[in-house]
């Protein structure tokens, strides 16, 4: 099963030697003996210190050597076995599209402040960029035939969540998913209308026969959603690493 994960998966020992790589990892990274060999030299010492601590679950942001480009930024999620002899690692490519869209938004806003020329046309372009940015705020990532991950970023309001809804519903309808892991680690503030929109997403997915697992809920988010706790039958997990360990690695 691990070999079929659509994200690069690497298994290492306590000396950081690579014991196993998935097919996707073979396509993405060069063949090396040590996991440290695909890490950017400037980040290698930081990564080594974290790995040597044998923390049960760990997360790193690292520049990794790939086959298609010199260095690429990844989120690295890892889990050490109970005896600290082996670690399971999954890498998720940092999506730079959102940063590019935000930069475009700032540029457009400055231009609109400085001129009224073709204001209507530029305003439409701005609205399209905002809609695109909202959709990119919650990418739908397939982890297996039955499990998907939706990491959510930024402040949540009704307009953004309506765009997120469309992405999630379309992907779930086309697939055969049993669980959708929604990661709130990167969420800032949740507006009042956003709480109602979140409720609608959860209820709809439940109606579609999909179990929703919440990851990384912060205390103030939990307080906001408390009124829907029983109605939504929410299941919460502390971190993405724990969710990957439970639903993918089976450890």
pLDDT tens for the chain, residues 1 to 251: 556 667 889 999 999 999 999 888 999 999 999 999 999 998 899 899 999 988 888 889 899 999 887 788 888 988 898 788 999 998 988 765 555 555 566 666 666 666 555 555 666 666 666 666 666 667 888 888 888 888 888 888 888 888 888 888 888 888 888 888 888 888 888 888 888 888 888 888 888 888 888 888 888 888 887 777 667 667 788 777 777 777 776 55
Answer whether 56's CB lies under 8 Å from 79's CB.
yes
SS3 216: coil
Answer whether 80's CB lies under 8 Å from 86's CB.
yes
CA separation for the pair 170, 174 (Å, rounded)? 6
Confidence at residue 102, expressed as pLDDT on a 0 to 100 scale: 54
pTM: 0.55
Confidence at residue 244, expressed as pLDDT on a 0 to 100 scale: 74
Of 161, 248, 162, 166, the C-alpha closest to 213 is: 248
Of 230, 178, 243, the C-alpha closest to 208 is: 178
CA separation for the pair 113, 81 (Å, rounded)? 56
| Distance (Å) of CA 101 to CA 26, 135, 165 | 31, 11, 20
Answer whether 134's CB lies under 8 Å from 164's CB.
yes
Domain boundaries, the chain: 2-93, 97-134, 139-249
Confidence at residue 19, expressed as pLDDT on a 0 to 100 scale: 93
Answer whether 183's CB lies under 8 Å from 150's CB.
yes
CA separation for the pair 65, 241 (Å, rounded)? 23
Answer whether 59's CB lies under 8 Å from 229's CB.
no
Q: Where are the beta strands (DSSP E) in 102-172?
A: 141-142, 147-156
Architecture of the domain delimited by 2-93: 2-Layer Sandwich (3.30)
Confidence at residue 153, expressed as pLDDT on a 0 to 100 scale: 82
Answer whether 125's CB lies under 8 Å from 104's CB.
no
Q: Return the axis-axis angle of helices 97-114 and 119-136, rounded to nearest 10°.
A: 160
Answer whether 84's CB lies under 8 Å from 56's CB.
no
**Domain range 139-249, its CATH number among 3.40.718.10, 3.40.630.10, 2.40.50.140, 3.30.750.24:** 3.30.750.24
């Amino acid at each position: 099963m691990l070999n079929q994960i659509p994200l690069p998966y690497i298994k290492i020992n306590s000396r950081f030697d690579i014991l196993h790589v998935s097919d996707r990892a073979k396509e993405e990274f060069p063949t090396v003996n040590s996991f440290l060999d695909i890490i950017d030299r400037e980040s290698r010492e930081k990564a080594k210190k974290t790995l040597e601590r044998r923390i049960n679950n760990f997360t790193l942001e690292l520049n990794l050597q790939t086959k298609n480009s010199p260095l690429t930024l990844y989120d690295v999620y890892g889990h050490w076995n109970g005896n600290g002899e082996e670690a399971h690692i999954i890498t998720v490519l940092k999506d730079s599209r959102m940063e590019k869209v935000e930069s475009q938004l700032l540029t457009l806003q400055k231009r609109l402040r400085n001129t009224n020329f073709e204001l209507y046309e530029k305003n439409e372009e701005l609205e399209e960029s905002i809609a695109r940015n909202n959709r990119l705020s919650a990418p739908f990532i397939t982890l297996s035939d039955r499990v998907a991950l939706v990491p959510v970023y930024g402040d949540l309001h009704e307009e953004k969540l309506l765009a997120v809804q469309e992405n999630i519903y379309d992907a779930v309808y086309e697939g055969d998913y049993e669980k959708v892991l929604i990661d709130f680690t990167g969420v800032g503030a949740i507006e009042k209308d956003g709480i109602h929109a979140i409720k609608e997403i959860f209820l709809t997915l439940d109606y579609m026969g999909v179990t929703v697992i919440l990851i990384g809920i912060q205390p103030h988010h939990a307080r906001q959603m408390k009124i829907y706790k029983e109605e939504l039958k929410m299941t919460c997990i502390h971190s993405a690493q724990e969710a990957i360990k439970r639903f993918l690695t089976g450890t």
